[in-house]
Amino acid sequence: MYSAKITETIAHFIGLFQLSIEDARLREAHEKFDPNREIHKDPKDLETAPVKVQAPYDLDDFNPDVPYRPLDTDIYTPVPYGYAGLPFPQYPHSEGTYGRPEADGAVQNSSFKSTYFSTPHINPPGSVVVYSQQTAELSDNDYVNMGGHGLKSVLHIDSSAVMAELIEGSLQISPLGLEDPAGSAETVASLVTTTAATLDAYSAGDESQVGGLAASTFVAKAATLEGVYVNGDLVETAPVLKDHLPNQDETEETPEPELTEGPKEASGAVAHGEGEVAISASVELEAGSNTLVNEVVITNNWLQSNVLAVAGDHVQLNAIVQTNAYYDSDLVSSALCGGSLAADKATEALNIASFKHVASTETTHNESGVFPKAWAITEVKGDLMMVNWLQQFTFMSDNDTAILAASGSKLSIIAGDNTSANQVSLLELGFRYDLIFVGGNVFDANIIHQTNILLDNDFIGAVGGFQMSGNGSVSTGGNLLWNYANIVEAGGASAVNPMSEGYLSALQDLAEGKDPSSKDFMHDAAFAGLLGLRVLYISGDLLSLNYISQTNILGDSDQVTLAMNALTALPDADWTISTGSNALLNYAGIVDVDTGGTIYAGGDVYSDEVLFQAELIKDEPYLGSEDPDALVSEAVVFLGDDMLAPDPGPQSPDHEPPGHQKNGHKNHEAKDNGHSDHGSAHNGSHSIDSADADPMQSVLA
């Protein structure tokens, strides 16, 4: 018993000893190290020196606005012969070469040394077809209620019927309707012939009214049109877009400040307050300044030849159809600026069309009597199509409603300034041959159809009691409708010649699948100086169509109500209101390099160029020129003395809106103008709480 207790004590001692050793091993004891001993000492006195800075630029206030302004697109007119400097292919031979002289891009020996040629291989061209439809839609109908006036407007003017009238009028006056995409050779041929017949039969009417709109039209038709036409007048030069864009002050470049050499010393001082800081109250509203742009540029140089021989008919058509339709009639309160408003810039509508023909710059052929002695031919079985079908639509609704009052500070609201743009640019480079045979017909057409439609009826009224003695500025016009179309025919023959017997015989043999027995066509003057011909045979039709349709539709009818602040009236506030300055821009340019420098046709020949320009204006007074202040006063609900109470948050569906008191509750009287509170609008034609409705919805649905 006693020995057991001793053994237990020794065991406990040994365990405690082991724990102490382990604890000592785990303990970390490092000498404290301070790397910043010198820093903790008392610092020396800091040395000061004058600050020398250079600040040659004045910083402006932050401006997040980056307006889009389309650039003037420069249509590049190619040289029809040897376009883009592409060398013609070289063919294997033993002696001599095919093709044009060296100046035209191919290598040729000084003389024809042998009549033996290995048969060269020529690749046939393929069809090129582009179908594109671009649509941009924007609905930006804003409702703004600011300034502590305690008012709510239930005035809503539905403009959908007027917009439908403008759209219907533009469709009615245009000789061309809305075409479905031509997806086959048959539909392309039918479209070209039908359009040519329609435009040929169309003549400008004497009517001055189209569907209730004042109309003015201009039509020019000829085998060849040349020059620039602006709203029906032939002018020397076309207008420049940047000279007509609204808000010219935004596009002007700010001159760079002059830099001065040498350091600048900066010094500062403390200004002690001398009293209250005067705050200049102002209200700025920008509800317009929308920009709609459709832009297309096409250069078609897919297929070229020195001579084009057509067994059937040759149909060529260049047509430009342009329409501008707008209704811009505004009602502005006489209370703003005391009725002494400066004359506002009127809406400007321009239809600009240009036709240009560029002759071939082909080098004069060798007149030594050398003509081709061999040829290489490739065949396209069926039709060959070169079609660019481009449609661009831009729809924008920016009908803003604002109830504003000056509140003792600067209030700036931008409810417009939207931009929508569609853009396509095509450059098609293809094949060149010396001679092209067409077993069918040739249909060559360039059609541009442009339409701008603008509804900009603005309403600016003031409630009773509104007063102002400060500066006021109102701009409700200054809109621009711009249609610009340019068709350049490069390298085309001025006339289509009757076909000779040599070409007719060759076409007949090719149609029967035989090699032409007669080579008389090789002695055509167009081939003088050539040692060999590169020939393409198309058994079907040759179809070339560039179709561009561009449409801009903008609804920008704004409603603005002016009121006084319910707590502190500020009649000396400055007001700046802009509801116009919209720009609707269509730009289309086509450079069409004709397939044949010299054209022969065995069938009928049709060639026509047509220009149609129209302007539609609805000139009736807006709302019958009623007093805008009276209309506003009838449609304003006064919220009452509790208008500044905290927002109760979302209400149940059966919650009565302010101003609609139940029976037994007394209406509050407005102290600003003496009018009693109206539970609803007196005018039965006004719909309640529908100020953000889209007037274009019923039209576009």
pLDDT digits (tens, 9 = 90+) for 467-492: 888 888 888 989 999 999 999 998 76
Q: Residue 101, Cα to own-chain centre: how many angstroms?
A: 46
Structural domain including 361 reads 122-234+285-389+436-640+657-700
Q: How confident is residue 522, by pLDDT bands cut at 50, 70 and 90?
A: confident
> What residues pair up with 599 in beta bridges, in sequence order?
308
pLDDT of residue 154: 81
pLDDT, residue 281, reads: 86
In a domain, 367, yes or no: yes
pLDDT above 60: residue 170 = yes
Spatial CA neighbour of 475 closest among 345, 625, 323: 345
Residue 672 has pLDDT above 60, yes or no: no
Give, as one character, the DSSP assignment of residue 408.
S
* Sequence letter at residue 497: N
Residues contacting 136, CB < 8 A, separation 6+: 393, 394, 395, 396, 420, 421, 422
**According to the model, what pLDDT value does residue 96 have?**
38
Residue 580 lies in a domain: yes
Q: What angle do CA 356, 357, 361 make, to 5 degrees?
A: 135
pLDDT of residue 314: 94
Percent of the chain with pLDDT over 70: 69
Token representation of residue 692: 């953000």
Average pLDDT of the segment spanning 119-125 = 79
When mean pLDDT is compared across 103-117, 132-146, 314-328, the lowest value belongs to 103-117
Over residues 117-143, the mean pLDDT reads 86
pLDDT at residue 438 in the model: 95
Residue 639 has pLDDT above 70, yes or no: no
Q: Tell me how far apart the terminal alpha carbons of the chain are, to the nearest angstrom.
A: 109
Kindly tell me if the per-residue pLDDT of 87 is higher than 80. no
Q: Which helix (H) or strand (E) holds 317?
A: strand 314-327
Does 320 have pLDDT greater than 80? yes
Q: Specify the pLDDT at position 375.
A: 85
Residue with tokens 């040729």: 108
Percent share of the chain, pLDDT over 90: 42
DSSP bridge partners of 423: 295
* Confidence at 286, pLDDT banded by 50, 70, 90: very high
CB-facing half-sphere around the CA of 565: CA atoms within 13 A: 18
pLDDT higher than 60, residue 584: yes
Q: Say whether pLDDT at 626 is over 70.
A: yes
Count structural domains, the chain. Answer: 1
Instruction: State the greatest distance between any 2 C-alpha atoms of the chain, in Å, as a whole number.
Output: 146
| Average pLDDT estimate for 576-598 | 92
> What is the structure's pLDDT at 627?
84
Lowest mean pLDDT across 242-251, 393-402, 565-574, 629-638: 242-251
The answer to whether residues 321 and 453 touch, using CB atoms and an 8 Å cutoff, is no
Q: How far apart are CA 415 and CA 399, in angstroms?
A: 9
pLDDT tier, 289 (very low <50, low <70, confident <90, very high otherwise): very high
- Please give the structure tokens belonging to residue 615: 């302007």
**Do 545 and 445 contact (CB within 8 A), yes or no?**
yes
Is it the case that residue 511 has pLDDT exceeding 50? yes
Confidence band of 73 (pLDDT split at 50, 70, 90):
low
Can you tell me the distance from the alpha carbon of 340 to that of 573, in angstroms, rounded to the nearest whole number? 16
Lowest mean pLDDT among 9-18, 194-203, 265-274, 594-603: 265-274
Q: How confident is residue 602, by pLDDT bands cut at 50, 70 and 90?
A: very high
Write down the pLDDT at residue 189. Answer: 94
Q: How buried is 259 (Cβ within 10 angstroms: 0-12 exposed, 13-18 middle, 19+ buried)?
A: exposed
Query: What does pLDDT average to over the chain?
Result: 77
- Domain for residue 189, yes or no? yes
User: CA nearest 178: which of 549, 533, 474, 622?
Assistant: 549
State the pLDDT confidence band at 683, using cuts at 50, 70 and 90: very low
Q: Is pLDDT of 544 > 60?
A: yes
pLDDT of residue 686 exceeding 90, the answer is: no
The answer to the question of residue 117 being in a domain is: no
Angle at 319 between CA 313 and CA 324, to 5 degrees: 160
pLDDT at 399 over 90: yes
Of 621, 564, 334, the residue nearest 461 (C-alpha): 334
Q: Which of 20-24, 273-277, 377-381 shows the lowest mean pLDDT across its residues?
A: 273-277
Q: Between the CA of residue 363 and those of 102, 366, 373, 571, 689, what are the distances in Å? A: 11, 9, 21, 78, 74
> What pLDDT, on a 0 to 100 scale, did the predictor assign at position 88?
40
Query: At residue 52, does pLDDT exceed 90?
Result: no
Give the residue from 72, 74, 73, 80 showing the smallest Cα distance to 592: 80
Please give the residue that has the higher pLDDT: either 168 or 528.
168
Helix (H) or strand (E) holding 374: strand 374-380
pLDDT of residue 39: 58
In terms of DSSP H, where are the helices of 108-182?
160-173
Amino acid 114: pLDDT = 35
pLDDT band at 680 (very low <50, low <70, confident <90, very high): very low
| For residue 141, pLDDT beyond 50 | yes
How far CA 303 is from CA of 83, 145, 496, 688, in Å, comes to: 11, 62, 18, 63
* Most confident among 55-69, 355-369, 484-498 (mean pLDDT): 484-498
Residue 313: band (very low, low, confident or very high) from pLDDT cuts 50, 70, 90: very high
Average pLDDT over residues 346-367: 79
Reply yes or no on whether the pLDDT at 446 is more than 80.
Answer: yes
Q: What is the mean pLDDT of residues 586-597?
A: 92
Q: Pick from 649, 195, 113: which is nearest to 448 by CA?
A: 195
Quick one: tokens of 697? 């919805």
pLDDT at residue 390, as a whole number: 96
Strand 331-332 with 472-475, pairing: unpaired
Is 316 contained in some domain?
A: yes
Contacts 24+ apart (CB under 8 A), 226-229: 226/355, 226/356, 226/357, 227/354, 227/355, 228/352, 228/353, 228/354, 229/351, 229/352, 229/353, 229/354, 229/611, 229/613
Domain annotation covers residue 64: no
Nearest to 494 by CA among 216, 223, 106: 223
Q: Considering the domain boundaries, does residue 488 fall inside one? A: yes
- As a whole number, mean pLDDT of residues 376-397 equals 94
C-alpha torsion sign, points 368, 83, 77, 318:
positive
Is 541 in a helix, a strand, or coil? coil
Tokens read off for 666: 């007394």
Contact call for residues 376 and 534 (beta carbons, < 8 A): yes
Q: What is the pLDDT of residue 631?
A: 86
Statement: residue 153 has pLDDT above 50 = yes
E strand intervals along 50-127:
52-53
Which residue, chain included where needed, has tokens 């009052």? 405
Report if residue 228 sits inside a domain.
Answer: yes
- The closest of 202, 196, 194 to 614, measured between CA atoms, is 202
H-assigned helices in 485-562? 501-511
